[in-house]
Amino acid sequence: MSRLGLVVMLIFLETTMLWAQSPEEGSSSWATRDDSGDEVVTNLRFYFHDTLGGRSPSAVRVAQASDTDKSPILFGALMMVDDPLTEGPDMNSKLVDRARGLYGSAGQTELGLIMAPNYGFTDGVYSGSSFSVLGINPAVQHVRELPIISGTGLFRMGRGHAIAQTYSFDLKTGDAVVGYNVTIVTYPCRWFSASTKAPKAVEEWFQNLSHRKEKLTKLHFYFHDIVSGKNPSAVHVAQANTTFTSPTLFGLVSMMDDALRVGPEPDSKIVGRAQGIYGSAGLEEFGKCNGSTLSVLGRNPVFHDCREMPIVGGSDVFRVARGVATAKTIWLNLTTGDAVVEYQVMVLHY
């Protein structure tokens, strides 16, 4: 069992309150939606199953600092998760999708988990939609509130909060079930399908936004991710002990400093750089803008023809930005893993 999981679960043991009444027997209502006003308010209730033990854990430790194991709260431990989300607390209740991403111990003197998961859905009208969370989970508190920073599909440019409370845990394995009560405020979007992820459809959606006062800027560039050769722009920094036996390399974390170019050619003009981390979180499956940045946090289903990811912020010209990035793979070398991805970006900013 992961020591991080044990620390978190033991503290939950001391602080847990009764989460909430589970959905009535026979009910499939885990989501409600009020679109009667200028903005849409959606409430979601579901259960998050975090499995640390057994033969097929859904959360694995992928990295740690040199002194992590000396810390009483495992400061520096980093976990990759692919946790199922269900309608009820029973693992066999209706699956509404999965939470994929990272969490880690980010407190030196008291337990605080930095959470960066993406919650995606496959049920009903919410199929294909997702929202992203980024914030600190103060695990010693009875009730934890996490910020929702953006989303895709029906939750495009959503903002809101998630209230989390432990429903149950297993001291032997560290496995936990956590209830979520989520409120998201979004712009009106009456329907959603795979076709609405296409760049043209996204642009039309932005143009038709009501009560929009911000500036609208459109960017088009190519992201060059080079993992081979003498000078790769993306390098592996961590992995789980089972990563290289996984068909999806689950748990692999890479640090990147990738060129953004005006075209797919490797010698085309560089307009910026993408710097940060990305990881495999699936068990199965400039000119005037020089110096400005955009931040993306969300799920990238890389084998889909067209992917939508939320823009959750920015700096300089794009300060307080919100928007959508659509990505399409132009070229992929299956031998080296090198790729060229076309991005089309729609951003609202002040």
CATH number for the domain including 26? 2.40.480
**248 shares its domain with 155:** no
Q: Are residues 294 and 179 in the same domain?
A: no
- Domain edge (last residue) among 159, 186, 213: 186
* 187, 150 contact by CB (below 8 A): no
Of 186, 202, 230, the last residue of a domain is 186
CA distance 60 to 49: 13
Structural tokens at position 90: 């029973």
Phi and psi torsions of 167, nearest 5°: -95, -45
Structure confidence by residue, pLDDT tens digits, 109-137: 777 888 999 999 988 888 888 999 988 88
CA atoms within 13 A on the CB side of 94: 18
How many whole angstroms separate alpha carbon 149 and alpha carbon 158? Answer: 7
Place of tokens 């111990």: 105
CATH number at residue 239: 2.40.480.10
Q: How are beta strands 159-169 and 176-186 bridged, if at all?
A: antiparallel
Are 32 and 153 found together in one domain? yes
Same domain, 108 and 37: yes
Domains: count for the chain:
2
| DSSP letter string, 161-225 | EEEEEEEEE-TTT--EEEEEEEEEEE-------GGGGSHHHHHHHHHT-TT--SEEEEEEEEEEE
Q: Are residues 173 and 199 in the same domain?
A: no
Is the domain of 177 the same as that of 272? no
Question: Hey, is 42 helix, strand or coil?
Answer: strand
| Cα–Cα nearest to 298, from 287, 307, 289, 288 | 307
- Structure-token pair, residue 314: 């920015």
Question: How much is the pTM?
Answer: 0.72
The Cα 337–Cα 234 span in angstroms is: 11
Task: Examine the fold and report which residue of 186, 211, 233 is the final residue of a domain before the chain moves on.
Answer: 186
Question: CA-to-CA distance for 294 and 59, rounded, in angstroms?
Answer: 29
What b/e string do you get for 156-195 counting C-beta neighbours within 10 Å, with b at 16 or more?
bbbbbebbbbbbbbeeebbbbbbbbbbebbbbebeebeee
Say whether both 179 and 222 belong to one domain: no
| pLDDT tens, position by position, 6-42 | 444 433 333 333 333 333 332 347 888 888 777 889 9
Amino acid symbol at 335: T
CB contact at 8 A, 282 and 243? no
Same-domain status, 159 and 261: no
Window from 41-45, 183-187, 326-330 with minimum mean pLDDT: 183-187
Domain hosting 75: range is 3-186
277 and 312 part of one domain: yes
pLDDT tens digits, residue range 210-266? 655 667 889 999 999 999 988 889 888 788 889 999 988 999 988 788 999 999 999
Same domain, 171 and 273: no
- Considering the domain architecture, whether residues 234 and 318 belong to the same structural domain is answered as yes
Please indicate, yes or no, whether residues 87 and 222 belong to a single structural domain of this protein.
no
**Helix, strand, or coil (residue 320):** coil
Three-state SS for 332? strand
Counting residues of the chain whose pLDDT is more than 70, the rounded percentage is 86
Q: How confident is the model at residue 187 (pLDDT cuts 50, 70, 90)?
A: confident
